[in-house]
Structures are given as C-alpha cells and as structure tokens.
Amino acid sequence: MNELLSELRELNVGVVKIDEPLSHHTTIKIGGPADVFIIPSSIEQLEKTMNVIRKYKVNWRVIGRGSNLLVSDNGIEGVVIKLGTGLDHMTIGESKVQVGAGYSLVRLAMTISRKGLSGLEFASGIPGSVGGAVYMNAGAHGSDISNILEKAYVLFEDGTMEWLTNEQMEFSYRTSCLQKKRPGVVVEAVFQLSEGDKESIVQEMQKNKDYRKETQPYHYPCAGSIFRNPLPFYAGQLIEECQLKGYIIGGAKISEMHGNFIVNNGNAKAADVLELIQFVKDTIYRQKQIKMETEVEIIGRK
C-alpha cells in the first residue's frame, strides 16, 4: 500500500488521504474509514488513478455525493475515489447538456430550468450527483433519467472508458447495466432536453421541491429511500400499514414523516441501520407476504 500511495502522490492525481472516515462523505453521516481516499480533479487524473490501482491490483470503489449509500462501520478496503470538484463541469447547448459525474443533480435541474429547458423537473430535490443518478436511473414524479439520457461516458473495472447509449445502459426501475451486468462508473453524461416555457418549468420544479420538503425528512441525515417499491405497492405505505413509523434501533429511526426513510438521530451506526432494515423486511413479510428489496446501496467490510 505504501508503494501505491507514493506513486499516486508522485503522479499528482488530486487529493490523497489515508483512513478517511466515510461518515464525512455520506448523506446519512455513517461509515468507517477508507484505506485510501482520492478526489481526482479531472478525467485525466482519474485515468492515472485507475492505472495505478490496476498495477497494484487493489480493490476500488467510486462514490459521488454519498446519497443512496450505507457504508459499513468497518469502512472500505482498498481505494475509494470521490467524483466531485474537478468532475463537476457542464456545457449547455441548444437542447442538450453535457455534464460531469460530480455535478449536483439538484443544481443541474435548477440551472437548466433557468434556461427554459425541460426534462429534469422531476429531479428537483433529489440529492446526489449526476453520476449516481445515471448509475441507478434515479427518478420521481413519474419520470426518471432513462427518459432524457442520450449517452454516458463510463469507466469499467478493467480501466477502459467508453460511451454507452441510452439503449446500451439497459435501464429499468432504479437500475442500469452498470450495477451487475457490466460493472462500471459514470464519469460524464449527455442529456437530451426540450425547450419549454421557463416560468412553467420553474413552477413545476418548485412544486416538486415543496412536496419533498413536506413529505420527506431531508432535514435529518438520511440516505434517501431505503427500499425499492415492490410494485404495485409502495414501500412507505407498507411500512406505515405495519405501524413501523418511528421505530428505533440504536441511533437509527424509521422516519415518522415517511416510512421509507431511516434517519440518523445523531449517533447511529451502520449496524443499527442494517438491523432496522432486516426488522422491516421480516415484519412486512410476516404481515403482508411481500419481500422487500433495498434501494440503498450497502457497501464495505463485513
């Protein structure tokens, strides 16, 4: 690991830290340390980083703004790369936008709305980065990323990078091919938008943002929706029907505002959240005979 660190620093790949607590980089404020933590400031630095990782054959993982993520209390083995500053560039054309993976999805939605471009109204209030949103086909209010993505620039496990079309991404509900079939990381995306009435677009975005504020507990540290909706049912409704709102294990609590959110009361551990997730799964299966699957990504050492 010392040789890897020395080479990374010699190549000037960006910020390099050792044993960085990932609780500082997740929206739920939970997570043990990463052995090595890197914030590259360009695609070129990311490519250099990947060359070194491949050379030393160490485990690696990419994160964005840390939403939809639960990191083990024992942290993550190997290298964690955070795509943020330096990979948050954006270019707006007449009806397209090309944007780096580290760009805030909320900020992007707001920026293009002011240009009178329609297509991302649904994203108003969705925390997280562009890269993460494309990776998991984020959506709300009847729309999702698959409706507007033209192509994504993807970094694969072997270090190669390739543009994938919308069709090649194989989108489905909160899923893309990058999660299992072709493991990879979104570095950049191009969205196809449409011209619309600026005032109407901004009003729609504000309505969506207000709805989230009124119904979801983003004033507490949380990871976003914990469970996928087992359609035609809704996870939050099932949790409420089973009278689990407000249930607490350790420092983790099922939100009283929305059943599909687990909040960190200030001292929660990943173990508390995992135990609470299992409790919800067991309860709903016992009462409803419905199997619940997590939407939040659970990573790190056991």
Residues involved in catalysis: 174, 225, 295
Contact (Cβ atoms closer than 8 angstroms) between residue 170 and residue 176: yes
CA distance 128 to 102: 9
Between the CA of residue 220 and those of 26, 52, 109, 207, 299, what are the distances in Å? 12, 38, 23, 21, 21
Query: Which helix or strand (DSSP H or E) is residue 139 part of?
Result: strand 139-140
Q: Which residues pair with 190 in a beta bridge?
A: 98, 151
Angle (CA) 279-281-286 rounded to 5° is 95
Structure tokens at 167: 């069709």
Separation CA 186–CA 136 (nearest Å) = 10
Task: Give the bridge partners for 63, in sequence order.
Answer: 82
**Residue 57 CB contacts under 8 Å (≥ 6 apart), including other chains:** none
